[in-house]
Structure 1
Amino acid sequence: MEYFEALAVGDTDSFGDYEVTREELTAFAGRYDPQPIHTDPDAAAQSMFGGLVASGWHTAAMTMRLLVDHQLADSRALGALGVDSLRWPEPVRPGDRLSVHTEISEKEPFDDERGRVAIDVTTTTDSGDTVLSMVGQVLWERR
């Protein structure tokens, strides 16, 4: 259970092997982002993407799942203040496998009980395409 004091600027981590299925992609989109490029294979085929692509919000949700499973669940992270510079430079497609790379870029006390940690997050596919980048602003418990 890492406390704020154990973290250092420059710390990195890489993890994950999340398989994106067509069923999950269309189910998420149908519920939260029902645009044809996410829900209708025929319409998506005629789009600039040439086929179904995940909602950016789904990409963020899958990234969050990987972060919790591999980094945050066993930490003293208390929650996030938000994210900065959220980008989806390439689309996620059915069959892609996602992994995440993190690097701590800033760290400072927030108050007597918590510290703020800026974490650069990059999500990539198994073919090396970057599909998400952001900077998470996370509060961490201090000793």
Structure 2
Amino acid sequence: MKFKEFEPGQVIHHGPVTVDEADMLAFARAYDPQWFHVDAERARDGRWGGLIASGWMTCGLAMRMACEAVLHDSESFGSPGLERLRWMFPVRAGDRLRLEATIDSSRVSSTRSDLGIVRWTWCLFNQDDAQVLEVEVTSLFDLGAA
């Protein structure tokens, strides 16, 4: 999508993406090796009743879906950060996650006419419509790009 296509209130959908157990374990072993992400036996007896994906992997899946649905052919060049990151429900191997991204605001910078700013909220839901992630993201767009 191009910057000029963003409208406040617009909802962008993408997915589902299926969470693969091998990917889930590989991510956790490399980046978040807490026992409930990597030790199936111990996790089975833990609070979650089995392995759950790292929340950081869930963020990565949301990013992938946002790129595929919106950012891949846009003028986006980065982000100054995010707000209100929340993981509400555990993600497990085999879950099918879908993205609902709502455009909260879209504007040209008041100090740089070549800079577009989009604030949007990404929500991920599993196959049972349980919300597993919410994050408010700011994306920057180069309006001087060809």
TM-score, normalising length: structure 1: 0.94
Write out per-residue CA displacement over residues 107-126 of structure 1, whole angstroms, 9 at most, x where no aligned residue. Answer: 23222211111011101111
In 1: Cα distance, 2:127 partner to 2:85 partner? 21
Partner of 2:35: 36
Letter in 1 for 2:17: Y
Q: What are the ranges of 5 or more consecutive residues in structure 1 without an aligned counterpart?
A: none
SS of 1:122 mapped into structure 2: strand
In 2: Cα distance, 1:40 partner to 1:7 partner? 43
Write out per-residue CA displacement over residues 39-91 of structure 1, whole angstroms, 9 at most, x where no aligned residue. Answer: 00011112110000000000001111111112110212121111110000001
Mapping for residues 118-133 of structure 1, pairs under 5 Å: 118-133=119-134
TM-score, normalising length: structure 2: 0.92
In 2: Cα distance, 1:43 partner to 1:107 partner? 46
C-alpha RMSD of matched pairs (Å)? 1.2
Identity %: 32
**Residue pair 1:5, 1:142 contacting (<8 A) in 2 also:** no
Give the paired residue count. 142
Mapping for residues 6-21 of structure 1, pairs under 5 Å: 6-21=5-20
Q: What are the ranges of 5 or more consecutive residues in structure 2 without an aligned counterpart?
A: none
Partner of 1:69: 68
Runs of 4+ in 1 over 3 A off after TM superposition: none
